[in-house]
Amino acid sequence: MTETRQDQFPSDSSESDEGIDRSFLEFSSSTEKTKIFHDMVHPHLELPAICSLVINTPQFQRLRNLKQLGLCYYVYPSAAHNRFEHCIGTSYLAGKYGKTLRKNQPELNITDTDILCLYLGGLCHDLGHGPFSHSFECFVHSVGFPNYSHETMSLRMLDYLIEGNNLKSAFEAENLTERDLTFIKEIIFGHPLDGNENFVGRPPCKYFLYQIVSNDRTKIDVDKFDYLLRDCKQLNVATVFDYQRVLDNSRVVGMKDGAVCDHIEDDTPTIIVYRNKISDTLEDLFRSRFSMHKKAYQHRVTKVIEEMTLDALKAAEPHFQVPGSNGKTYKLSTAWQDVSAFMKLTDSVFEWIQHWNFGGSKAANILNRLVHRNLYKFLGCFSGKLEQSVLDELQGKDSGIRFIESKINFGSGNKNPLNEVLFYEKSRPNRLIRKNFPNEPEVRRTFIVYSRNEDESEDGNDVVGDDNIEYSVRLQTVKKHVKHWSEKHKISLEYE
């Protein structure tokens, strides 16, 4: 029996190839061509068999342990779904979109390989996410690594997945070349790689394929289709968005110098445009996104719990060691620098800090407070933006006061991404029009919270509960400071 020390990180079974039978990874073009999955959003979805090989790897299975909505789970008990099923759903929609365009416009010459790459790009687009959804990214940025992104990490994890599971031969059996792999990575990244000005995986005549999984131009893509439908279903929030109408009423046109081309040549850049009658459906998409940010993603309690988790991660930073390759260890904030170390980071980091003394007592105490619902105290919120000097005036009253900012929009700040969308009419498919959508003002709200909910020694011990008289007196004093501050600056505070 092997004994595991309390401060010993669990071993990663994917680290060593010794003694592992990898015959199940062998693949040839004569094997079963598709795999059917039973999904709550897309019943009986079907994926190419090579997608199944990718799914059955440690790198992809890791997504089972990453909540899609991160810490929102502590507000909505049903927000228990994971990035695993979202990636499968996105893969299905990406392939379906490509097939729909091929059926409606055979002249586009969309090949089976193009569609296979769409399946794989959609499947692997979230491989690089860390624990607690986007909160981990915020943590890494806050401790000095502003250029870290989960999109770039997804590209590195894809390489790690292919190399670590001997899938290169499986890709070759499907006639996937190095250029196709570059195309898959560009689909995931949504931009040209390595600072290139143009995409290299596909010629300009197929640039429209890059707008299917991650559409930087209009924000209309299958990643958004799946996560909104899945999140709404899990949280029992109504939505009227119908992705099938979008697929059926999409069309590809060639554009040069702002004008539609009569014929699409290899060097003709292409984009996806939409039938004018579905403008309301596209509005439904962005209104659903806005609503979910308000009700769930940026719910005030979600934001408070994210703040507490960030504090816990920062407190754990000097203590938490993640083993990587070649015997090296990494901090939580630098584990992304080594794919082997990053592989070990899932939502279980919470338990390792809370129960196994991986992050020191201060970090553990913060998470214990969270579990006991002893959260940072909400003192009100205000809309709009204030001068820093005004904020500093309140924070100067007590170091425990925090401002947590929330920005809710259509995905493009104060702009409406629908104004970037081009529409066509059925009778004149090559005459493109824009619709004048109102620019939806960004809703900026700032939550005021009081984080010192206890008397803490320097190491975080000596926790005192809410019934502590000294704390209660201090909290009442802080509330008076906030009230006086808001009245002085004529700030209207809300308490819901």
Strand ranges of the sheet holding 401-408, from the earlier edge strand across to the other edge: 377-383, 443-450, 401-408
Same-domain pairing of 234 and 348: no
Task: Show the tokens assigned to 115.
Answer: 């569609």
**451-487 burial, b if ≥16 CB within 10 A, otherwise e?**
bbbbebeeebeebeeeeeeebeebbeebeebbeebbe
pLDDT band per the 50, 70, 90 thresholds, residue 337:
very high
Give pLDDT, residue 303: 95
Give pLDDT, residue 3: 36
Helices (H), 20-149: 49-55, 58-61, 83-104, 112-124, 134-142
pLDDT digits (tens, 9 = 90+) for 364-399: 999 999 999 999 999 999 998 889 999 888 887 566
DSSP per-residue codes, 168-234: HHHHHHTT--HHHHHHHHHHHHSS-STT-SS--SS-GGGGGGGGTTS-TTT---HHHHHHHHHHHHH
- Residue 146 CB partners (closer than 8 Å, separation 6+): none
Same-domain pairing of 311 and 397: no
* pLDDT(12) > 60: no
Q: Is residue 93 included in any domain, yes or no?
A: yes
Cβ–Cβ under 8 Å, residues 383 and 445: yes
The CATH number that applies at residue 28 is 1.10.3210.10
Lowest mean pLDDT, pick from 89-93, 121-125, 141-145: 141-145
Same-domain pairing of 146 and 181: yes
Give pLDDT, residue 467: 55
Averaged confidence pLDDT in the chain: 88
pLDDT digits (tens, 9 = 90+) for 132-189: 999 999 999 999 999 999 999 999 999 999 999 999 999 999 999 999 999 999 999 9
Lowest mean pLDDT, pick from 40-49, 311-320, 409-418: 409-418
150 is annotated as an active-site residue:
yes
81, 125, 129, 150: which is the annotated catalytic residue? Answer: 150
pLDDT band per the 50, 70, 90 thresholds, residue 96:
very high
Rounded to whole angstroms, the Cα distance separating 39 from 45 reads: 7
Q: Which of 32, 50, 127 is nearest to 339 (CA)?
A: 127
Give pLDDT, residue 131: 96
Task: Show the tokens assigned to 267.
Answer: 């060097």
The overall longest dimension of the chain from CA atoms, in Å, is 78
In the chain, how many domains are there?
3
Percent of the chain's residues with pLDDT above 70: 90
Same-domain pairing of 359 and 384: no
Q: Is residue 195 included in any domain, yes or no?
A: yes
Give pLDDT, residue 429: 87
Same-domain pairing of 193 and 324: no
Q: Is residue 345 included in any domain, yes or no?
A: yes
Cβ–Cβ under 8 Å, residues 319 and 358: yes
Q: Is residue 81 included in any domain, yes or no?
A: yes
- Could you give the C-alpha distances from 391 to 40, 380, 442, 450, in angstroms and in order? 46, 14, 20, 14
Give pLDDT, residue 29: 39
Q: How big is the chain by its Cα radius of gyration, in Å?
A: 25
Average pLDDT over residues 341-358: 93
pLDDT band per the 50, 70, 90 thresholds, residue 473:
confident
Which of 242, 261, 284 is the last residue in one of the domains?
Answer: 242
Please work out, in degrees rounded to the nearest 5, the angle formed at the alpha carbon of residue 48 by the alpha carbons of 44 and 53. Answer: 105
Give pLDDT, residue 399: 66
* pLDDT(7) > 70: no
Task: Show the tokens assigned to 178.
Answer: 């190095």
Same-domain pairing of 181 and 36: yes
Q: Which of 79, 86, 69, 160 is nearest to 126 (CA)?
A: 86
Domain assignment of residue 334, given as a range: 299-372
Rounded to whole angstroms, the Cα distance separating 496 from 486 reads: 16
Percent of the chain's residues with pLDDT above 90: 71
Same-domain pairing of 62 and 198: yes
Cβ–Cβ under 8 Å, residues 141 and 324: no
Same-domain pairing of 105 and 234: yes
- The distance in angstroms from the start CA to the end CA of the chain is 54
Which of 372, 397, 425 is the last residue in one of the domains?
Answer: 372
Of residues 474 and 455, more confidence is placed in: 474
| Pairing between β-strand 443-450 and β-strand 377-383 as defined by DSSP bridges | antiparallel
H-helix or E-strand spanning residue 275:
strand 270-275
Q: Is residue 153 included in any domain, yes or no?
A: yes
| SS3 category, 264 | coil
Which DSSP category does 302 fall into? H
